[in-house]
Amino acid sequence: MTVTQVPQVGHTGGLAQRYARALYDLASEQGALPDVLGEVKALRTAISESDDLRKFLADARMDIRQGQTVSNVLMSKLGFGDVLRRFVGVIAENRRLPDLASILDGVLALDSALRGEVVAEVRSAQPLNDTQRSQLQTRLAEAGYSRVSMTEHTDVALLGGMTVRIGSTLFDTSIAGRLTRLQNAMKGAA
């Protein structure tokens, strides 16, 4: 396993955080925060588990009307409440659907931070099962991260293993990471 300090730079970092704060504040003002947080988690899970949904959200050719129509149908089909439905409508209207996953992650991170938890972004080649999640929580507690909230992403490019980012610290146990380190070591030996 390799642990490195890497800067967190995202092309939508500030934008996603502003939208996330807006949704969090709106849900809090309307007294719907627990419901909205549950819906945000469910929508984030749906996005991470569906290749078709990710492709749809990332499609830059989609016009505003298409985005709004499909997002309304999706929100209704998944049974989400009015607050999240209207929020996703605004996201579609502002042509920010490609940033929706980052915005949802931002909402969950904001909630965790306000509750005193640290957010761990977990990328794995395969979706984690309950046993693996529990073992990871245990390992993170041993590393000094006792109050951890995890966001999970599937990334087949890792080939196997996982990466865990907590703040600027990256724990890399992926096969792709090992191959990269081996390749760099071989360059140094030549």
Which ranges of the chain does DSSP label H, i.e. alpha helix? 13-29, 33-49, 51-58, 64-78, 82-93, 100-114, 130-142, 175-189
Give the phi and the psi of residue 104 in degrees, each rounded to 5.
-65, -40
Judge contact between 126 and 133, C-beta under 8 A.
Answer: no
User: pTM higher than 0.85, yes or no?
Assistant: no
Beta bridge partners, 170, equal: 4, 165
Half-sphere exposure of 18 (CA within 13 A, CB side): 6
- Output the pLDDT for position 10: 39
What type of residue sits at position 99? D
On whether the CB atoms of residues 57 and 100 are closer than 8 A, the answer is yes
> What CATH number was assigned to the domain covering residues 14-113?
1.10.520.20
pLDDT (tens place) for every residue of the chain, 190 residues total = 544 443 343 344 588 889 999 999 999 999 999 999 999 999 988 888 888 888 888 887 777 888 788 788 888 888 898 999 999 989 988 888 889 988 998 898 888 888 888 888 899 988 889 999 999 999 888 888 878 888 888 888 898 999 999 888 888 999 988 998 888 888 876 6
The pLDDT value given to residue 13:
58
**Where does the chain hold its CATH 1.10.520.20 domain(s)?**
14-113
